[in-house]
Amino acid sequence: MPALRVFVVLLVFAAAAHAQNFKPGDAVEYKVGGSTPPQWERGTIVKAYEGGKQYLVREKPSRFFPEGFEKTYAAENLRAPKDEKASTDTPAAPKPGTTAAPPKASTAAGGPLTKAEVVAYAKSLFGSGDPFADSEKRDKNLNAIRDYIKTRGVAFVADDTFNYKDLPNGMNSVHIGAAIQSNYGPHPKLENYYGTYLLRTTNRGSKTSTKDGSRVVVTTTDAQFESGALVIAKGGTFTWKLGRTDPESKWITGKWREATADEMQPWEGGPMIVLEKARQGEDYTVRMCRVPGYEKWIDVGMGKGRIAASYGRPE
């Protein structure tokens, strides 16, 4: 019996060791399958399974998956990014009342923010001190940068150069990466949603670049299965054809409304709409795509996490 107790304790300990405490939206590093020696890439947590034993991870963007492919990883194949692990040194506690609110960003200039503007604003918040010395102040600064990006959108993507070179260590986090990815280009207006979209359930499709490399052209006539159509009307109504050739008796019709701030992620700017009581009686969100090259496309999803259920291109 004592040997059995020891065995059970070891099993419990091993399970606890593999359990992680990541939350949706957290930055994470995942082990690339089959890599020798082991290689780690940076991704984002989407959802946890089995109390943290497994996680759905959105991997780094690629040519074929510009928003990142989503894949499930066991906890032992994930780790916190090295630049975001907590320090073993205990910083001196700040005196009460000494954490000042970050200065407000100027949004007088029109148009999406440039990389230089975002970097300059970040440096103005953090100054030359240790960004990790005051965790409360760091969180406020990161949220201020996130909100600055939301005000006008951005004219660049957050590549490795931006993440690890342009922004000094400590001035970057999942706050900033998610805000840049979700706010590329100028914010859409509600009227930009009006129209008919041809839906597909896999991904947005292939894309190719022009010879000069300055613009991305989306391929709209490829072999991917297109599952239906969504019509968003100006008067606040929608029609969802689950199958492209379904008879009118099978169409889903209802009302749409603008999403509230609470229904949007804190890093998302620009309006989003909600289809009320759509498929299977559930509310669905529709957000204008902000991935370069897919302007005017929409992402259709469920819930606040909004893992996309469908993508749509203008008819």
pLDDT tens-digit series, residues 53-65: 889 888 887 655 6
Instruction: Kindly tell me if the per-residue pLDDT of 156 is higher than 50.
Output: yes
Q: Would you state the structure tokens that stand for residue 18, as one six-digit string?
A: 């593999």
Q: What percent of the chain has pLDDT over 90?
A: 27
pTM, full prediction: 0.58
177-191 residue pLDDT tens:
889 988 999 999 999
Asked if residue 36 has pLDDT above 60, the reply is yes
32 pLDDT exceeds 80?
yes
Q: Provide the edge-to-edge strand list for the sheet that holds 70-74.
A: 70-74, 54-58, 40-49, 27-31, 78-79
Query: Which two three-digit tokens encode residue 88?
Result: 């073993």
User: CA 33, 39, 44: angle at the middle one, nearest 5?
Assistant: 80
With CA atoms as reference, report the closest residue to 313 among 209, 201, 196.
196
- The domain defined by 15-82 folds into SH3 type barrels. (2.30.30)
Pairing, β 70-74 against β 54-58 = antiparallel
Cβ-based burial of 90 (10 A; exposed 0-12, middle 13-18, buried ≥19): exposed
* pLDDT value for 1: 53
pLDDT tens sequence across 225-247? 567 899 999 999 999 998 878 88
Contact 289, 297 (CB under 8 A): yes
pLDDT tens digits for 68-85? 788 889 999 999 887 654
Burial level of 87, CB count in 10 A (0-12/13-18/19+)?
Answer: exposed
208, 212, 214, 215: CA torsion to nearest 10? -30
Region 277-298 average pLDDT: 88
Residue 127 has pLDDT above 80, yes or no: yes
Would the pLDDT of 31 be above 80? yes
- Which residue from 124, 112, 232, 101 is spatially nearest to 171, judged by alpha carbons? 124
Strand partners, 208: 217
Helix, strand, or coil here: 192?
helix
Contact (CB, 8 A) for 217 and 209: yes
Closest CA to 171 of 129, 219, 206, 202: 129
Q: What number is the average pLDDT over the span 248-258?
A: 93
Residues 119-127 have a mean pLDDT of 90
pLDDT at 113 (0 to 100): 93
